[in-house]
């Protein structure tokens, strides 16, 4: 990744642009979980990504994360995201790339994960909405686990309405 958002051309359509944390499988795009030597290229989308696409979202890339989703500051990355408001402040959470991609307007929604705050801390520190659903409400099939019994796929957005729409689409 050359930046916190490894970007591909936007697919055609009218749906919202979306990004996916790099521990969630997107068919044909490498999943690294922030560790290049772990990388693999999945043949299928994670269930949450499949449902996000069915909702009409257009995936434009994968976002950086604290390696293996184990951090709350967002700086344990090969290519760290920068706080959207103040470069001297941390972007927060292992889902920092997803949070910053929404906060900077690169995408309307982004998927992250939340085991211990990674879907909420980057939202708070970048002035956006972060939804952490109840464990089990959104499938974690196709997600590299940090702690399988506590992991959740989270949603970042600029508004509650937009985030709720995306969350209910992937649930």
Burial annotation 55-87 (CB, 10 A radius, 16+ → b, else e): bebbbbbbbbbbbbbbbbbbebbeebbbbbeee
* Among 62, 64, 94, 95, the one annotated catalytic: 94
Indicate the pairing of strand 109-114 with strand 152-157.
Answer: antiparallel
Instruction: Return the residue matching tokens 């693999």.
Output: 40
Q: Which of 21, 132, 154, 157 is the catalytic position?
A: 21
Which residue stretches of the chain are H helix? 47-55, 96-103, 121-125, 160-170
73 Cα distance to chain centroid: 15
- Rounded to 5 degrees, what are φ and ψ at 64? -70, 160
Per the annotation, the verdict on 94 as an active-site residue is yes
Which of these is catalytic: 64, 95, 96, 118? 118
Distance CA 28, CA 36 (A): 16
Which residues are marked as active site? Answer: 21, 94, 118
């Amino acid at each position: 990744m050359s930046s916190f958002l490894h970007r591909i051309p936007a697919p055609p359509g009218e749906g919202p642009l979306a990004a996916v944390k790099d521990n969630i499988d997107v068919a044909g795009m490498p999943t690294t979980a922030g560790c290049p030597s772990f990388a693999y290229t999945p043949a299928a989308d994670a269930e949450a990504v499949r449902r996000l696409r069915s909702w009409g979202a257009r995936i434009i890339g994968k976002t950086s994360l604290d390696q293996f989703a184990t951090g709350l500051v967002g700086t344990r990355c090969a290519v760290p995201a920068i706080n959207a408001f103040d470069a001297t402040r941390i972007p927060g959470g292992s889902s920092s790339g997803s949070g910053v991609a929404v906060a900077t307007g690169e995408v309307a929604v982004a998927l992250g994960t939340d085991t211990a705050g990674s879907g909420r801390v980057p939202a708070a520190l970048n002035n956006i909405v972060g939804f952490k659903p109840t464990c089990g409400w959104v499938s974690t099939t196709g997600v590299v686990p940090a702690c399988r019994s506590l992991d959740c796929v989270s949603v970042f957005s600029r508004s509650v309405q937009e985030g709720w729409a995306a969350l209910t689409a992937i649930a």
